[in-house]
Chains A and B, each alone.
Chain A
């Protein structure tokens, strides 16, 4: 395999591994703030217990996010040196602001948030929790701004092959940024909604119910039920924005090879790059045109208009369907689950087992949808690294293929092991809450927080 394919695989492996954890951390941090605030305002011990359990999950996810994020900052240089040479003037400040405003904020206050109880007042502790949540969100703001700029670049001029900033406002708030940011933050909230619901369902299934289990399940299901429709709406707007700026990406997602009016929505097909057509296509007539142009006979540009400059079709076609399919499952489970929960008088123990099994299996469904969607948008930018302007092949590193392959093998092995360890440990923690309660009792006996 040639070096550029390996370099892309390595970068993809790393960014895929990395994104799993911020996706949980962003929304979980706000959720923790909510739990803590509920505890402070109601003095109901179940909220504190929920806060403590989920803080542990957060600490673990945060550590994984930090270390894989450090790797990212190096791989810009090791894998895509040409990118920084050409676009460093734009990418640099955006990344710089992420480090300066977000990374230090979250990292510095994390210690106080995790271990500062009894050393600082409740108010300062709550403020620290807020700053960590704010920091994670700010981090998403900057990095998605840069990512969006690579998709829909504006506000620059090119002098001697190098990008120079003309307007920072135009660069930061480039056309796809608001949609991508909203889509990603909602994805984070939905991921956490299903992790909360799934882990609670697991505790119910295993008979390890805690005083907070039913409550967290309700929070998770409610969050999911409320946000899924919002996500569908935002996703649709994001799609329309992509159609305007990156029509080739949309054509690949929908498997439209030739420009056509009234294009069908393909439920299944096997895109064939050789014949430049779809095998085994099953579709709903006119629906793709209706969704994308909001007109039944609207015209969608086909891939043939972008020959040599469009992304590979199959990953986008399937990635998009996996994302949407997962979203539909989320819709069904959150609405169905919430409805059943209400009918059973909000008594978690009375929920039917099949629902709990389903929710437990959906625990990490947010990861699947996020990664699938992320692949659609990132592979959809190919063959460009900066859409329409710089090709990925132009900026690759000169590192020899065997070296990249070797380190790739190392990274992938470690990542897989860590994902397994992460999921196993969360399962273990969910089943083992005894020690947790001991700490709580001890604290209540003493009447003050233990440092």
Chain B
């Protein structure tokens, strides 16, 4: 239970990697979140709308998923001891997520390249893959924050969070479509966003309640003075962002000048959730079981990756921004160069 805060040289490095890992997972959840969400929203959309929806995420999805590889990569590289434990505990949902991501990733290309009669099938593969990936990620999140505890209540909790994360992705995806599309599709996105909103609120509330209930460490950390007051901005800002988002969906300006705002507010919600979670968990990689220092790789290995990160992460940021700028504005048809 107790945290070994040693002061050997190089002890700051595991923390840096914890931060980097968290950051890449946050970026992943936002970026792949919107494109998985768009995949979910394809259910029930017209054929032309489906094409346009895929076109809005086509140039980006691949790089978006790379953030997951980086996040898991850092877990593997910086915390090899936790990597094996966590992934073994999550064996089945990981496998399901991978099957989902595979189905979806290949359906992207197959749906337009195979014979037209197969297109509905690949569209379905795209939606099912997106749903499978989104729900398994939610399931994993729930299992992780409850410390992999067993029992029906935990399973039920995981099931609810699985759906809630899918709803959050759908909301994010709807926000993306509001930015990237016009006309009927934009209206459809707004209707779907309204549907997803209550599920997101419920899910967030449940996560916030469950984490302190499950772990005394976490509850002690939140519910004591003066920390409680210092921490209040996190739930407050989350709540405000969600309310503003809901109010905005009723306004016509969300179809025009303010089309970017729902997406931005949703990113804000996810950022707050991330900060809250990080505060709850720190300095553990596995809640109450293994700290970042216990799980960390040798300082020499960490140092060489840190050098790599220092050079490449800014470069990655630059060309990610470049790629988004190239495809700025409303999405047109995807056409090969």
Contacts and interface: CB of A to CB of B under 8 A. Distances in A.
Determine if chain A interacts with chain B.
yes
Interface stretch (B93-101, B154-162, B168-176, B257-265): B93-101
B255 interface: no
Interface string B1-39: 000000000000000000000000000000000000000
A429 interface: yes
A428 B115 CA distance: 7
A74 interface: yes
Contact of B297 (A82, A88, A397): A88
Main SS class of interface, A: helix
B290 interface: no
Contacts of A73: 69, 72-73, 76
Interface stretch (B44-52, B199-207, B274-282, B306-314): B306-314
B86 interface: yes
Interface in B48-80: 58-60, 62-63, 65-66, 68-70, 72-78, 80
Contacts of B214: none
Interface residues of A, number: 75
A81 B83 contact: yes
A399 B88 contact: yes
A63 interface: yes
B106 A107 contact: no
A85 B313 CA distance: 26
A55 interface: yes
A211 interface: no
A28 interface: no
Interface stretch (B183-191, B226-234, B329-337): B329-337
B244 interface: no
B293 interface: no
Contacts of A82: 84
Contacts of A418: 102, 106
Contacts, number: 231
B92 interface: yes
B88 A81 contact: yes
A111 B108 CA distance: 13
Interface stretch (B144-152, B215-223, B318-326): B318-326
For A78, A89, A164, A429, which residue has the most chain B Cβ atoms within 10 angstroms?
A: A78
A89 B298 contact: yes
A63 B109 contact: yes
16 contacts: A71-B98, A77-B88, A78-B91, A84-B84, A88-B80, A92-B78, A96-B308, A103-B69, A107-B65, A109-B323, A111-B58, A114-B337, A397-B84, A398-B88, A399-B91, A418-B102
Given A104-B63, A111-B62, A112-B326, 12 more contacts: A52-B337, A63-B109, A67-B105, A81-B84, A92-B76, A103-B70, A111-B327, A115-B327, A119-B326, A162-B298, A414-B103, A450-B335
